[in-house]
Structure 1
Amino acid sequence: MAPKNRPKYLDLLHIKLPVPGLVSILHRVSGALLFLFIPVFLFFLQTSLVSAEGFEAVRRTLDFWPVKLGVIGLVWAFLHHFFAGLRYLAIDLHYGVELAAARASAKAVLAASLALTLILGAILW
């Protein structure tokens, strides 16, 4: 038997992932981002509901362009996590398990999350 030509180590920056693998990793990253920013969401919600001055302070904070970019990033994280979650629910129910269907649904998740992020980002900006 000839030895198999396998890599000695895995360089994650040079591995070409298939689209479903990329969607899987982005699903985890988006979930972590959403989890980490829950306290910020709750702080903004509490501050905006306490008084009119608190609401104005939150509105002024959200008017800064770096904060807007962060909010658009979190909108992407929510949309990607939502659509990828629906895709994984369908796979758990044995829909779209075949290779072609799995690749198509992964591409649909990326397209839908990016398209809606662009639309909502334009509205928020």
Structure 2
Amino acid sequence: MTRRPVFLNLFRIALPIGAISSFLHRISGVLLLVALPAVAILFERSLATPGGFESLRNGLGSVPARLGMVLLGWALAHHVLAGIRHMLMDAGLGWRLADARRSAWAVVAGSLAIVAFAAIAAA
């Protein structure tokens, strides 16, 4: 029986960028799924009455709400870009290691650029 090395310090394990992008794709999907009911309720309340709309508009101007919107914006951007990357790889495009690494970096950088642009434009 061979003894396998056990290395459980997850902060010292160097994951490849493809694994990081895939992990973030899953995290962003879960985040979007969890946020969906709250977003739907807020949308419904904003349409119910003019007072509800004003209340929501004032509440979304706070710093925590803005940070939450930036987080959800990143989750949406990353999930869409990573989903397109996965679909292209399933179609046989970009599956070679060098191409897969480049596309993973593009997804991570692209999602951060999109959310940074949106946050700056909304400020």
TM range (shorter): over 0.9
1:49: which partner in 2? 47
Cα deviation for residue 122 of structure 1 reads 1.1
1:14-33 matches, within 5 Å, as: 14-33=12-31
Query: Is structure 2 residue 31 aligned with structure 1 residue 37?
Result: no
Q: For residue 21 of structure 2, what is the amino acid of its counterpart?
A: V
Query: Is structure 2 residue 98 aligned with structure 1 residue 86?
Result: no
Cα deviation for residue 10 of structure 1 reads 3.2
Which of 56, 68, 83 aligns to 2:66? It is: 68
Q: % of aligned pairs identical? A: 39
Query: Is structure 2 residue 95 aligned with structure 1 residue 114?
Result: no
Q: For residue 6 of structure 2, what is the amino acid of its counterpart?
A: K
Q: For residue 19 of structure 2, what is the amino acid of its counterpart?
A: G
Cα deviation for residue 86 of structure 1 reads 0.2
**1:60-101 Cα deviation digits (max 9, x unpaired):** 110101110011011000000000000000011011000000
SS in 1 for 2:7: coil
Distance across 2 between alignment mates of 1:41 and 1:123: 21
**Runs of 5+ consecutive residues of structure 2 not aligned to the other structure:** none
Distance across 2 between alignment mates of 1:7 and 1:33: 34
Cα deviation for residue 124 of structure 1 reads 2.5
TM-score normalised by structure 1 residue count: 0.92
Cα deviation for residue 18 of structure 1 reads 0.7
Q: For residue 35 of structure 1, what is the amino acid of its counterpart?
A: L
